[in-house]
Amino acid sequence: MHRFVPATLLLFLHLEHPVSRVFPEDSVGLVQPELAHFKEPLALACGRQLDEYELVYETYGTLNDSRSNAILICHALSGHHHAAGYHSESDRKPGWWEACIGPGKPIDTNRFFVVSLNNLGGCNGSTGPASLNPATGRLYGADFPMVTVQDWVHSQARLADRLGIEQWAAVVGGSLGGMQAMQWSIEYPERLRHCVAIAAAPRLSAQNIAFNEVARQAIISDPDFHDGHFLAHNNIPKRGLKLARMVGHITYLSDDAMGQKFGRERKSEQLNFDLSSVEFQVESYLRYQGEEFSTRFDANTYLLMTKALDYFDPAAAHGGDLAKTFAAASASFYLISFTTDWRFSPERSQEVVNALIAADKQVSYVDIDAPHGHDAFLIPHPRYLQAFSSYMNRIEI
């Protein structure tokens, strides 16, 4: 709930002396990112290694004395460490998971100590393609190694070590973040008590890979990509990144949600019958989304993230048997899917649920009837918040 302050009073206070901004009561409020530098080399799945690297992260809430209330948040394709709260008093936009993290929210910061980081290869402060390569003194660009979900989990474990967290109360993530949560349960069974994977999948389908490939080809074939060394050319492959985001964005929304939001609504009453005009609102919306994204996201990071998605397939090491893959896991699992998600449909979560049941693991699952498609995991839909809270509130700390 927002603390309600009459406008006249605010004006008065403003005239008297500078006033602290009043953030919503259920927000973690002002937050600051922190930086962890790691000098121990990290061996990567691709066979290469990072000699040293930095991870940017934020924390919300307070670590209890027994260090048993820590939650790790793993982000999705275009996410980052800033999951909740505001970076300044004038910051208008809160973190990307403000709907779910804060006092009284599903990830309740009155109970939990929340850690949220930007993954390796990212473009929001952790070491990635836009960082300086200490070995060459130049920007990594295309030379940044391919990183996988497994690599991320390894680097997240080191961050946990640094923060003195031996065991997470839960590792939580949506979409690609949910894949990291699952990988944690396989990789470090003893280091998490709960694994919460929302709108995730045990591996990409051919169609998922196909959409990623279109996005990658859009970026790579942009003449401004310069084989990935565009920053060194003082350039960005804006056209390609815009297209990549446009096609991605379609897969995040349901057909219904797009229909309800835009339908065939026109920009103007008369049709223009030309290519330069925008005829339908949905075209305008998509162009805006693509444009905005292309100015703030690194194209090499986008490529790396889509490849990490493609490569994720923990069952591959077990002959495709997902139940065997989870054999050593000891966490309790919670899976959430959304009825209208066609990127990672409910059936994909159910594959995981069925494997966990076959592996005799503790698992809860809910399929939320929500109209928003894949993006539903970011949206404060009442049923979702209730189902999410109900599980999180039962986690003992």
Q: Does 338 bind a second copy (CB under 8 A)?
A: no
Contact mark string toward a second copy, 195..214, x via CB under 8 A: --------xxxxx-xxx-xx
Tell me the one-letter amino acid at 60: Y
Residues 341-360 within binding reach of a second copy (CB under 8 A): 342
User: 306 is written with which tokens?
Assistant: 């889509």
Active site residue 341: yes
DSSP structure string for 234-258: T---HHHHHHHHHHHHHHHS-HHHH
Burial state string for 178-214 with b = 16 or more CB within 10 A and e = fewer than 16: bbbbbbbbbbbeebbbbbbbbbbbbbbeeebeebbee
Q: Does 321 bind a second copy (CB under 8 A)?
A: no
CB 336 within 8 A of CB 199: yes
Q: Does 142 bind a second copy (CB under 8 A)?
A: yes
Report, in Å, the least distance between residue 116 CB and a second copy: 27
If one counts every other C-beta atom within 10 angstroms of the C-beta of residue 152, the result is: 26
Closest CA to 60 of 26, 22, 37, 19: 26
The stretch near a second copy (CB under 8 A) out of 133-141, 161-169, 261-269, 331-339 is 261-269
> For the chain, how big is the Rg over CA atoms in Å?
22
Report, in Å, the least distance between residue 358 CB and a second copy: 21
Report, in Å, the least distance between residue 249 CB and a second copy: 8
Please pick, among 126, 131, 155, 175, the residue that the annotation labels catalytic.
175
In the complex with a second copy, the residue whose CB is nearer, 87 or 307, is 307
Report, in Å, the least distance between residue 46 CB and a second copy: 4
In the complex with a second copy, the residue whose CB is nearer, 108 or 222, is 222
What DSSP designation does 143 have?
Answer: G
Q: For 129, what's the count of Cα atoms within 13 Å in the CB-facing half-sphere?
A: 24
Q: Which of 61, 94, 177, 290 binds a second copy (CB under 8 A)?
A: 290
Please pick, among 332, 374, 375, 381, the residue that the annotation labels catalytic.
374
Residues 313, 60: Cα–Cα separation, whole Å: 31
Closest CA to 349 of 362, 372, 327, 368: 368
Q: Does 133 bind a second copy (CB under 8 A)?
A: no
Residues 27, 8: Cα–Cα separation, whole Å: 24
Active site residue 224: no
In the complex with a second copy, the residue whose CB is nearer, 35 or 46, is 46
Q: Does 369 bind a second copy (CB under 8 A)?
A: no
Q: How far is CA 358 from the centre of its chain?
A: 29
CB 84 within 8 A of CB 27: yes
Active site residue 17: no
Q: Which of 67, 87, 226, 307 binds a second copy (CB under 8 A)?
A: 307
Q: Which of 18, 47, 137, 382 binds a second copy (CB under 8 A)?
A: 47
Contact mark string toward a second copy, 234..253, x via CB under 8 A: -----x--xx--xx--x--x
In the complex with a second copy, the residue whose CB is nearer, 226 or 261, is 261
Please pick, among 108, 298, 341, 367, the residue that the annotation labels catalytic.
341
Number of residues that bind a second copy (CB under 8 A): 55
Q: How far is CA 393 from the centre of its chain?
A: 22
Residues 3, 81: Cα–Cα separation, whole Å: 26
Residues 298, 294: Cα–Cα separation, whole Å: 8
Report, in Å, the least distance between residue 42 CB and a second copy: 15
Q: What is the largest CA-CA distance in the chain?
A: 70
If one counts every other C-beta atom within 10 angstroms of the C-beta of residue 135, the result is: 10
Dihedrals phi, psi of 146, to nearest 5 degrees: -65, 130
What is the contact surface with a second copy in residues (CB under 8 A)? Answer: 45-47, 142, 145-146, 203-207, 209-211, 213-214, 216-218, 220-223, 228, 239, 242-243, 246-247, 250, 253, 255, 258-259, 261-264, 271, 273-275, 279-280, 282-283, 286-287, 290, 303, 307, 310-311, 313, 342
Active site residues: 175, 341, 374
